[in-house]
Structure 1
Amino acid sequence: MVKFRVVVTGKILPLALETIKQHCEVKAWDDPNKPIPTETLQEWLRDAEGLYNSGFAHINDALLAQTPQLRVISQPSAGYDNVDLAACTDHGIPLGNTASALTETTADLAFTLLLTAARRITQGWDMVRSGRWQKSSDIPFGIDLYGKTLGIVGMGAIGSGVARRAQACGMNIIYHNRKPRPVGEFQGTQWVPFEQLLSQSDCIVVLTPLTAETRHLFNTNAFAKMKPSAHFINAARGAVVDTEALYHALVNNVIAFAALDVTDPEPIPGDHPLLSLPNILITPHIGSATPETRTRMAMMAVDNLLAGLRGERLPSCVNNEVNFR
């Protein structure tokens, strides 16, 4: 049996790799300390039919122009800002992602950041751990979530999951997308213009994809329109936020607190000015970091890859206009 030729660009779940190898000849980049060099990727892709982009290599038109046999690109991720989607479509290559596999776990993480920020959990733990907890009057005070207004920027499946969790805490939910979703799709929520969301929200959770329009969406002007008591949560992509603007907003008490699972740059250097502030919490991009979710993501990406190689419709495709039927 003739096998498909596939390139794997980074670390991959052993079960996923073994499943691919049952159907494909695989060239896999396995150096954990550095990404696959562009020259190597170009060389490997010249006769490849599939790309499992676990290393999240940057894919652009110039690269795709040199891959005449490539049939499908599959990534074990929800986001795809490392890929030129228009170029994939122009070359007739479907791009598979795994958005549905990580919805609930990412919603868990985003809401955990909100709860942790609101109740100053990390500050309290630091006080106890360092032996500074001497009397009750010294403890850090947070805020109640009950009755507060939560603004969600990017009300997709993950945003809906965060909204359900927030409603269980008695929060009022407003959201902003480019266009309002159909009436009744997100029960108990209200679409509002972006600037209204900024000014009305006690807490803001960012879940929008990174695009040319959303890059630095949260800048100096946006932070200035928020409440001084606002709690800002980013679980989307780091570059949706102007990092310097966020730093100045926190230093100058333009907003009260920020909690981030994503940063720009990422990873954030240990000497970055943000890390010196008392009113910020940063986690190392752990939105999907559970064994259950990462396994689902890896195997969904395998399903997308194999479907594309066989000329079948991808179970989860970003550019459906070129998805096979």
Structure 2
Amino acid sequence: MKYKVVLTGETWPAPFAKLKEHCDVQLWEGSGPIPRELLLEYLQDADGLLSVSHGIKVDEELLSAAPKLRVVSQSGVGYDNIDVAACTKKGIPFGNTPGVLVEATADLTFGILLSAMRQIHLGWNLVKSGQWREVMGTDLYGKTLGIYGLGDIGTAVAKRAKASGMNIIYHNRNRKQDDDQLGARYVSFDGLLDEADCIVVLVPLSDQSRGMFGKEQFKRMKATAYFVNASRGPVVNTDDLYDALKNRKIAYAALDVTDPEPLPGDHPLLSLPNILVTPHIGSATVETRNRMAMLAVDNLLAGLAKKPLLTCVNPSVNYK
């Protein structure tokens, strides 16, 4: 008999074929996220849960509704929607998909910074409207890029910034031992706010990082600062960001993530001339999404077989 697996949305053909080869798949094919009540019903006799959406909340309620559940796998790096402690308590390993999306996300992060500083998107909009005229941007060369969260993606962004002649400073909870090889200088959080010409946020969402960038932080930044968020929307206080942009306390913001998300078309942020927003597409390339989906499937199959997941968030779990 094959294991029963709940898949919360469509995935890529090759990973889906591999999943179907080994499992009986209960697939949600409706538009939008699967309704919570239906998901709980699907999970009553399920052995595995494969989530393709960060919007699926895995908590005590869900786990209690799935007495046979052996493993939870999610396509994506962030897991603030997953109660990892509850999974561990119930002997359920949880896997995410780090590593495979680093370069694509770094490309997008640096790309929206580049577009904002050189006003590439504005130039294109002018050409489309029949206005062929110069758009004045700002040099990247010689500017100081401050990275808050110098993990794998932050390191990849730093390498791209170095190639553009930027100086790199960063802040983490702990200093990286090999930062000299990257040519990055460790500074305090306040030092990063004070010194950086551009700030890129790449920290995971946690109780500590939620709302970390608000009124006081924007006040400390240079009035000419460019602010980029490619981590999670709630790391930034949206109302305070709106105020900082409207009153020119900072020069510009480029966001791939927002709070709320999706951002309504009539949101006040979108009325401002000094903002660029993309719809959370950091990992959205064909190659990267295929690799993420395959890793998520491999994690799931390993958990079903009570083998170590390739990328397990709670590796000390005692398997169910």
Residues 104 and 282 in structure 2, CA contact (< 8 A), matched pair in contact too: yes
Q: Distance in 2 between matches of 1:186 and 1:223?
A: 30
Q: Distance in 1 between matches of 2:80 and 2:180?
A: 27
> RMSD in angstroms over aligned alpha carbons?
1.4
Q: Distance in 1 between matches of 2:32 and 2:272?
A: 31
Question: Which of 35, 38, 43 lines up with 1:37 in the alignment?
Answer: 35
Q: Does 1:141 align with 2:140?
A: no
Q: Any idea what the Cα deviations from partners look like across 1:69-124, whole Å, max 9, x if unmatched?
A: 21111111111121112211222211111111100000000000111111111222
Question: Which of 291, 297, 302 lines up with 2:297 in the alignment?
Answer: 302
Q: Any idea what the Cα deviations from partners look like across 1:159-189, whole Å, max 9, x if unmatched?
A: 0000000111111111111111224475211
Q: Any idea what the Cα deviations from partners look like across 1:252-309, whole Å, max 9, x if unmatched?
A: 0000000111111111111111111111111111111111111101101111000111
- Counterpart in the other structure of 2:156: 161
Q: What is the identity percentage for the equivalent residue pairs of Structure 1 and Structure 2?
A: 56
- Counterpart in the other structure of 2:22: 23
Q: Distance in 2 between matches of 1:267 and 1:313?
A: 35
Q: Any idea what the Cα deviations from partners look like across 1:114-159, whole Å, max 9, x if unmatched?
A: 111111112222222222335xxxx332211111110111111100
**Greater CA deviation, 294-303 or 40-49?**
40-49
- Give the TM-score normalised by the residue count of structure 2: 0.96
Matches within 5 A, 1:257-272: 257-272=252-267
- Counterpart in the other structure of 1:253: 248
Q: Distance in 1 between matches of 2:131 and 2:312?
A: 52
- Counterpart in the other structure of 1:275: 270
Letter paired with 1:53: S
Residues 317 and 323 in structure 1, CA contact (< 8 A), matched pair in contact too: no
- Counterpart in the other structure of 1:96: 95
Q: Distance in 2 between matches of 1:209 and 1:319?
A: 16
Question: Which of 166, 171, 175 lines up with 2:166 in the alignment?
Answer: 171
Residues 11 and 55 in structure 1, CA contact (< 8 A), matched pair in contact too: no
Residues 96 and 317 in structure 1, CA contact (< 8 A), matched pair in contact too: yes
3-state SS, counterpart of residue 233 of structure 1: strand
Moved over 3 A (4+): 183-186
1:323–1:281 Cα change, 3 Å: farther
Residues 218 and 242 in structure 1, CA contact (< 8 A), matched pair in contact too: yes
Matches within 5 A, 1:116-135: 116-133=115-132
Matches within 5 A, 1:190-269: 190-269=185-264
Q: Distance in 2 between matches of 1:98 and 1:227?
A: 36
Q: Distance in 2 between matches of 1:254 and 1:117?
A: 17
Q: Distance in 2 between matches of 1:61 and 1:186?
A: 44
Q: Distance in 1 between matches of 2:318 and 2:310?
A: 9
Q: Distance in 2 between matches of 1:185 and 1:30?
A: 49
1:5–1:186 Cα change, 3 Å: farther
Deviation at 1:239, TM superposition (A): 1.1
1:63–1:167 Cα change, 3 Å: same
Letter paired with 1:141: M
Residues 179 and 185 in structure 2, CA contact (< 8 A), matched pair in contact too: no
Deviation at 1:15, TM superposition (A): 2.1
- Counterpart in the other structure of 2:50: 52
Residues 288 and 294 in structure 1, CA contact (< 8 A), matched pair in contact too: yes
Q: Distance in 2 between matches of 1:233 and 1:19?
A: 37
- Counterpart in the other structure of 2:107: 108
3-state SS, counterpart of residue 99 of structure 2: helix
Q: Distance in 2 between matches of 1:323 and 1:292?
A: 34
Residues 36 and 55 in structure 1, CA contact (< 8 A), matched pair in contact too: no
3-state SS, counterpart of residue 316 of structure 2: helix
Residues 44 and 68 in structure 2, CA contact (< 8 A), matched pair in contact too: yes
Letter paired with 2:231: A
Letter paired with 1:46: Q
3-state SS, counterpart of residue 101 of structure 1: coil
Residues 92 and 317 in structure 2, CA contact (< 8 A), matched pair in contact too: yes
Residues 202 and 229 in structure 1, CA contact (< 8 A), matched pair in contact too: yes
Q: Distance in 2 between matches of 1:177 and 1:231?
A: 20
Q: Distance in 1 between matches of 2:265 and 2:199?
A: 26
